[in-house]
Structures are given as C-alpha cells and as structure tokens.
Amino acid sequence: RDIGGWECDGGTIKYGKIIRGLRFNGGSVSPSESDLKTFRELLGIRDEIDLRNDNDGVSNIHGSAFGSDIEWHNYKLADYSNSLSENTIQYRDLFKQIAYDVSHNSPIYIHCAAGCDRTGVTCGMLEAILGVARYDIDKDYELSSLVNYRRNGTVNSTYVRYRNDSRWI
C-alpha cells in the first residue's frame, strides 16, 4: 500500500513515492503479469528495497522480482523482535537510499517477508521523521492486521498483529 496521504509537518506525505508490501521473490509468492504491469507502468517503481536477511532465504536472491531494470537493494535487517540498535548502520544506509530515491522522483517498493514488521517499523520511523502524529503512525502500522494473513499458503484470519500484543512488544 502507498504510505502517502498522512498529514505531517508542512503538509501531507505525497502519494506514489513509497509503496510498501510483502516479498514477490522467494517463498510462495510471485508477481503475476498484472502485478508486473501495475508496479512498472502504473506505479512507476524503479527501486525495490528488500529488508529481508539470510534467515528469510534472501542469500539466493540477486535481483528484483520486477525485472533486471529495477534496482534491487537489500538491507539485511535483524528480525523485528531484536533491538533496533542491531540495525543502526543498516537503517542509516536505508534512509539515505530512500532520501536519494524520493529526491530523484524514483518511486520505491519497500518490503520484508510479510510486509508487516520490519517494513512497518521502517515506514513508522519515516513517518515520525516527517512529523506524522503518533496516533496516525499507530493506525498505519495496524492496517497490516486487517489483511487475511497467510501462513504456509493457508489464510489465518486469527493471526492478528496488534501493536500491544505481547508477541510484538
């Protein structure tokens, strides 16, 4: 989903700059022809930012699922349950890449495995930097709980991801 539209310091986050979601390479999800057309033509994605680490099987991936002309950047963030301090250098480099892409009008697709935790924290930090209200950051993070989360290809609608659940604190 697009992170645009949230009120922030000085206005509103622009639509069409940063799209977040789940992985399309590795695992059981692959982009369809319709997905490719949407990402490449409608959204104009030029950079894919992958937050998965080697535990997610990313060591076997060497490029974007959307084609060889899409830049693929891999920032191997530690799992969400680990402290943010483990990722300090990665976040610094990640935010530099995001700033570069946005300032050069290069739309980004950012994801981890499921597009919820590492992606959610990264987008929440970006929103905080931009001055989005904490209440709205929390709402945006929890929007990931509204999808039918799939585990091993099976819909598990009881797998809810509330920010105050003991599994995610």
Q: For 122-132, how does the pLDDT look when each residue is reduced to its tens digit (9 = 90+)?
A: 999 999 999 99
State how far the Cα of 142 lies from the Cα of 81, in Å rounded to an integer.
Answer: 17
**Structure-token pair, residue 166:** 């003991």
pLDDT over 70 (residue 137): yes
Helix, strand, or coil here: 71? strand
Residue 54, pLDDT score: 87
State how far the Cα of 30 lies from the Cα of 140, in Å rounded to an integer.
Answer: 25
Enumerate residues 6+ apart whose C-beta is below 8 A from 81.
none
User: Could you report the per-residue pLDDT of 82-93, keeping only the tens digit for each?
Assistant: 656 677 778 889
**How do beta strands 11-12 and 7-8 pair?**
antiparallel
Residue 116, pLDDT score: 81
State how far the Cα of 20 lies from the Cα of 48, in Å rounded to an integer.
Answer: 10
pLDDT mean over 98-114: 93
pLDDT mean over 34-48: 92
Per-residue pLDDT band for 169 (boundaries 50, 70, 90) equals: low
Cβ-based neighbour number of residue 61 at 10 Å: 16
pLDDT mean over 51-75: 90
Residue 24, pLDDT score: 85
pLDDT mean over 46-75: 90
pLDDT mean over 8-15: 95
State how far the Cα of 125 lies from the Cα of 50, in Å rounded to an integer.
Answer: 16
Helix (H), strand (E) at residue 36? helix 33-37
Per-residue pLDDT band for 30 (boundaries 50, 70, 90) equals: confident
- Give the closest residue to 30 by CA, choosing from 71, 61, 73: 61
